[in-house]
Amino acid sequence: MTGKVKRAILILILSEFLVCLGIGLVIPVMPFLRNQLHLSAFDMGVMTALFSFAQFITSPIIGRISDRVGRKPIIAIGLALYAVSEILFALTNLLGMFDFARVIGGISAAMVTPTGMALAADITTKRQRAKVIGWLSAAFSGGLILGPGIGGILAGFSYKTPFWFAGALGLLSTIALLILLPKDSEIEKPTQISAPGEKPTNAMNGDWHDLLIKPVILLFVLILVSSFGLQGFESIYSLFVNQVFHFSIANIALVLTLNGLISLFFQVMLFDRLVIYFKETRLIRICFLFALVGTLWIIFAHSKIEVIIATLLVFTAFDLLRPAITTLLTKLSAKNQGLINGLNMSLTSVGNVIGPLMSGALLDMNTHYPYVVVAGFLAISYFLAFAVKIKPHHIA
């Protein structure tokens, strides 16, 4: 990598980390915000849905725009909008303004994360890409892991303090990115060199029809299923383990902390090696299989230690599954990185909305129903993953 490429990747990682830290900061404050302002559960649900809906609608559009105008201005605007959304939360006590701020936040998320992934794909070789996407995923996870703890401390001053702090992080990230991130035209794009004896392939040249080939469609389906499965699993996890296995808050916090540490280790230290050893398609199948085994284990578990091990198995599988699919997608088109990552984020948003709604409704019927349904979808996805066949002319 050249010096400018390394600097660009570092800025992307720091920006991703700071934004996710800001998102994590406000998580412990949301229940207090609800009680303080006498908001209903429906009001809070609408706020969450508006964020995901805005992200869903705008992600592919913004991705396509970033393919045309460049990555840096889109990421910078997204970071600035993120700061605006958090500052609005700090300034207002009106439900309508909270909803408006969530819409802005959803648009900012659609601008920052997929565009950052697209830029990383633009400036790395196929061999480097898995490592860099693993780093970006780790920055995402690290921010979400550290955020709630720091947010809880800041909330001791005022329940508005975390929002002010998150807004400040957004502004700092915007300024740092504008100053330090080179323009797209200044970053040398890597030349993809064929292996000795390998015939040149007809890489896809960047158009909508490139995305309608079977492997891409299947990968998008797997993205939707994986986000649906993860949110379906995670959204009711604390309720499930508390109700069925009598987990305390300390038990749940321990599991989530262990998961965060394991996730960081796998994404930073091992993800690149796993991709090289197994290749993306096989790693995707392995992750779906382990997620399925862990989900079934939780359904039939009889002790807390079994639940903890099974949970870590499921979360680790999902933490590797998402970057594995993303890495493979970025290799399938030379010029569609923004569009591909935008659609990736959009489908993730759909899963993030449907998963919690389904699991919440099923949990009211029976405590095990949500995980039975999630296991069913994971089993289908495991077998569907075998249909993903990447031919030489598909790789950009």
Burial (CB < 10 A; 0-12, 13-18, 19+), residue 361, is exposed
Helix axes 369-384, 214-234, angle to 10 degrees: 160
For the beta carbon of residue 241, count every other beta carbon within 10 angstroms.
22
Greatest CA separation for the chain: 69
Instruction: List the domains of the chain with CATH numbers.
Output: 3-185 (1.20.1250.20), 208-394 (1.20.1250.20)
- Per-residue confidence band for 294, with pLDDT thresholds at 50, 70 and 90: very high
The band of 211, judged by pLDDT with boundaries at 50, 70 and 90, is: low
| pLDDT (tens digit per residue) in 310-355 | 999 998 898 888 888 878 877 766 566 666 767 777 777 777 677 7
pLDDT band at 210 (very low <50, low <70, confident <90, very high): low
Whether pTM > 0.95 for this model: the answer is no
pLDDT of residue 282: 92
CA-CA distance, 229 to 241, in Å (whole number)? Answer: 17
* Phi and psi torsions of 20, nearest 5°: -70, -30
Is residue 113 within 8 A of residue 337, CB to CB? The reply is no
CB–CB of 72/184 below 8 Å? yes
Judge residue 382's burial from the number of C-beta atoms within 10 Å of its C-beta, 0-12 exposed, 13-18 middle, 19 or more buried: buried
Token reading at 9 = 């990747």
pLDDT: which is higher, 235 or 276: 276
Tens of pLDDT, residues 79-136: 999 999 989 988 988 888 988 988 998 898 888 877 887 788 777 777 777 778 778 8
| pLDDT over 60 (residue 209) | no
Task: Please list, residue by residue across 110-120, b when 16 or more beta carbons sit within 10 angstroms of its beta carbon and e when fewer do.
Answer: bbbbbbbbbbb
**In this predicted model, what pLDDT tens digit does every residue of 259-270 receive, in sequence order?**
778 877 887 788
Question: What is the per-residue pLDDT across 66-86, written as a single tens digit (0 to 9) for each?
Answer: 878 888 899 999 999 999 998
Q: Determine the 3-state secondary structure of 133 from DSSP.
A: helix
Question: CA dist 289 to 81, 236, 265, Å?
Answer: 39, 21, 21
pLDDT at position 190: 62
Whole-angstrom distance, CA of residue 389 vs CA of residue 130? 19
